């Protein structure tokens, strides 16, 4: 069938959300369904891969049906099926990849494998047009990266974390403060209520490096708490959260500004689950505003894992002619820089 409109069906199952969505012409959300498993993982303090896979199996058909029904479209009208092929948990990814293959095969639709982080970056296209060259600050549970893009679909990682991802550091600090998983939003809320009065380190690394390191900061927070409890001193948890958050934001914003200048970008994008952080959103907005450049930040619902972002990135690849074969496999170590052709 020849439609004038392009509708991409996206599927995302890389971690603990089973999600499907349909995006019209690479910009407009027609349907967006996210089924979260967070409650099932909470009592373990983190995502348990086997439980994640089982939930995806249970949810994927329901989520796909709900997405189609929300859209009011028929499968005939779908242009292509895009799916997260990696990185992520291999068992979780496999459920999405196999569901996408089944749908694409049954309805003779093109299949397109998408990189999860490319998806996070392209969530911004649902807010405004991307202007190149641009710089994306990607902050999620598994990744902390500065990505330079000279054009659509081209990703150059100019800096990345050498140890913990930002989200991981947030979750570990939260666990030490006995907050439920995922801890990021709790620390964020507490940080707004506290004062950054506790001195914590900032890992700047080498002068010319855009890499990050958060494990030293995380250990410093944990040591501060342990030392205080041994001495019988009291630490105000809100102040510790505010001090931790200030240190994280200081490093992220400073390195982003430096890279913006060196790479002479026209636009900055914030992406990934930690992009939901109120303190980071405000600090980056203020800093980028001073440069006169444009910053795009996705709404909260598009910061954490969803399939709208996968369908949007899928649309870009679709227009560039990318097609995956029926031998598409889950790839937990997928490289974002690798060109697809
Ligand atoms: O992108 P995402 O949903 O999953 C991955 O691809 O990793 O990111 C999840 C991460 C978790 O570590 C969570 O604690 C963190 O994002 N997060 C936050 C906030 N909301 C979610 N971290 C700090 N502040 C927040 N408001
Ligand atoms: Zn993610």
Output the CA 76–ligand 1 centroid distance in Å: 36
The residue assigned the tokens 């598009």 is 302
pLDDT at 339: 72
**Does pTM top 0.75 for this prediction?**
yes
Note whether 115 and 20 are same-domain residues.
Answer: yes
Are 156 and 238 within one domain? yes
Question: What is residue 124's DSSP assignment?
Answer: G
Looking at the structure, tell me whether residues 182 and 291 fall in a common domain: yes
283 in the same domain as 159: yes
- Work out the pLDDT band at 31, boundaries 50, 70, 90: very high
Position 192 in a domain:
yes
What's the domain range around 237? Answer: 132-297
DSSP 3-state of 81 = strand
Residue 341: predicted pLDDT: 52
1 C-alpha vs ligand 2 centroid, how far in Å?
34
Are 200 and 106 in a shared domain? Answer: no
Rounded-to-integer distance, Cα 57 and Cα 48, Å: 15
Q: Give alpha helix (H) positions in 10-148.
A: 38-42, 49-71, 90-106, 116-122
Measured from the CA of 189, which atom of ligand 1 is nearest?
26
Residue 82 domain-assigned?
yes
Mutational test site, ligand 1, from 140, 166, 279, 300, max ligand atoms within 8 Å of CB: 140
Residue pair 95/50 in contact by the 8 Å Cβ criterion: no
> Mean pLDDT over all residues of the chain?
95
83 and 138 belong to one structural domain? no
The secondary element (H helix, E strand) that includes residue 316 is helix 308-319
Instruction: Report angle CA 290, 240, 244 to the nearest 5 degrees.
Output: 40
- Express each pLDDT in 187-210 by its tens digit: 999 999 999 999 999 999 988 899
Residue 91 included in any domain: yes
Q: How many domains does the chain have?
A: 2
For residue 60, what pLDDT band results from cuts at 50, 70 and 90? very high
DSSP alpha helices (H): ranges in 127-277?
166-176, 184-193, 215-231, 237-263
Which ligand is nearest the CA of 304, by number?
1
Residue 251 lies in a domain: yes
Rg of the chain over all Cα atoms, to the nearest angstrom: 20
139 and 118 in a common domain: no
Q: Which ligand is nearest to the CA of 142?
A: 1
Residue at 335 is within a domain = no
Rounded CA-CA distance 301/55 in Å is 21
Q: Which ligand lies nearest the alpha carbon of 248? A: 1
Q: What is the mean pLDDT of residues 276-305?
A: 97
C-beta atoms surrounding 14 within 10 Å: 29
Atom of ligand 1 nearest to the CA of 174: 14
Ligand 2 centroid from CA 145, angstroms: 13
CA of 170 relative to ligand 1 center, distance in Å: 8
Residues 62, 94 within the same domain: yes
Same domain, 173 and 292: yes
Q: Would residue 336 count as lying in a domain? A: no
Q: Does 327 fall in a domain?
A: no
Q: What is the mean pLDDT of residues 168-173?
A: 96
Question: Which DSSP category does 88 fall into?
Answer: S
Tell me which residues have their CB closer than 6 angstroms to ligand 1.
Answer: 15, 140-142, 167, 170-171, 182-185, 188, 272-274, 276-277, 304-305
- Worst-scoring range by mean pLDDT, 81-85, 201-205, 337-341? 337-341
Asked if 247 and 277 count as a contact pair (C-beta separation under 8 A), the reply is no
pLDDT computed for residue 3 by the predictor? 55
Give the HSE-up count for residue 276: Cα atoms under 13 Å, Cβ half-sphere.
22
Query: Mind listing the pLDDT tens digit for each residue in 134-164?
Result: 999 999 999 999 999 999 999 999 999 999 9
How many angstroms separate the alpha carbon of residue 63 from the centre of ligand 1?
Answer: 22
Grade residue 42 by pLDDT with cuts at 50, 70 and 90.
confident
The Cα–Cα gap between 149 and 39 comes to: 36
pLDDT at 247: 98
Which ligand 1 atom sits nearest the alpha carbon of residue 304? 3
Q: Calculate how far, in angstroms, residue 272's C-alpha sits from the geometric centre of ligand 2.
A: 6
- What is the number of the ligand closest to the CA of 280? 1
Percent helix, strand, coil in the chain (nearest 5)? 45, 20, 35
The CATH number assigned to the domain holding 179 equals 3.30.420.40
Rounded Cα gap, residues 189 and 309, in angstroms:
26
Do 192 and 273 belong together in one domain?
yes
Beta bridge partners of 339: none
Whether residue 173 is found in the same domain as residue 289: yes
Q: What is the per-residue pLDDT for 1?
A: 47
Does 67 lie in the same domain as 168?
no
All residues at 6 or more sequence positions from 24 whose CB lies less than 8 Å from its CB, including other chains:
5, 6, 7, 30
On whether the CB atoms of residues 6 and 294 are closer than 8 A, the answer is no
Of all protein residues, whose CA lies closest to atom 4 belonging to ligand 1?
141
Is 127 part of a structural domain of the chain?
Answer: no
101-142 confidence digits (pLDDT tens): 999 999 999 999 999 999 999 999 999 999 999 999 999 999
């Amino acid at each position: 069938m020849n439609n004038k409109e392009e509708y991409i069906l996206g599927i995302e199952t890389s971690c603990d959300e089973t999600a499907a969505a349909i995006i019209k012409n690479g910009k407009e959300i027609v349907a967006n369904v996210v089924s979260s498993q967070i409650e099932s993982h909470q009592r373990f303090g983190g995502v348990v891969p086997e439980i994640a896979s089982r939930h995806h199996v249970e949810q994927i058909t329901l989520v796909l049906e709900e997405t189609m029904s929300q859209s009011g479209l028929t499968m005939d009208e779908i242009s292509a099926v895009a799916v997260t092929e990696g990185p992520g948990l291999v068992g979780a990814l496999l459920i999405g990849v196999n569901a996408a293959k089944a749908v694409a095969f049954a309805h003779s639709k093109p299949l397109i494998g998408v990189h999860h982080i490319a998806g996070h970056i392209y969530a911004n296209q649902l807010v405004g047009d991307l202007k190149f060259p641009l710089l994306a600050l990607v902050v999620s549970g598994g990744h902390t990266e500065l990505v330079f893009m000279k054009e659509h679909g081209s990703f150059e990682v100019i800096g990345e974390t050498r140890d913990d991802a930002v989200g991981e550091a947030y979750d570990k600090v939260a666990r030490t403060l006995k907050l439920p998983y995922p801890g990021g939003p709790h620390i964020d809320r507490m940080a707004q209520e506290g004062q950054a009065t506790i001195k914590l380190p900032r890992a700047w690394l080498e002068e010319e490096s855009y890499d990050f390191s958060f494990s030293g900061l995380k250990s410093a927070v944990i040591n501060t708490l342990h030392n205080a409890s041994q001495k019988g001193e009291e630490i105000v948890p809100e102040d510790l959260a505010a001090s931790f958050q200030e240190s994280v934001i200081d490093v992220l914003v400073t390195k982003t500004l430096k890279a913006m200048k060196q790479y002479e970008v026209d636009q900055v994008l914030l992406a990934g689950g930690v992009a939901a952080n109120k303190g980071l959103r405000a600090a980056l907005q203020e800093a980028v505003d001073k440069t006169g450049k444009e910053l795009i930040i996705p709404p909260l619902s598009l910061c954490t894992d969803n399939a709208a972002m996968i369908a949007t990135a899928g649309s870009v690849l679709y227009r560039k002619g990318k097609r995956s074969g029926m031998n598409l496999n889950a790839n937990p170590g997928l490289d974002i820089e690798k060109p697809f052709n």
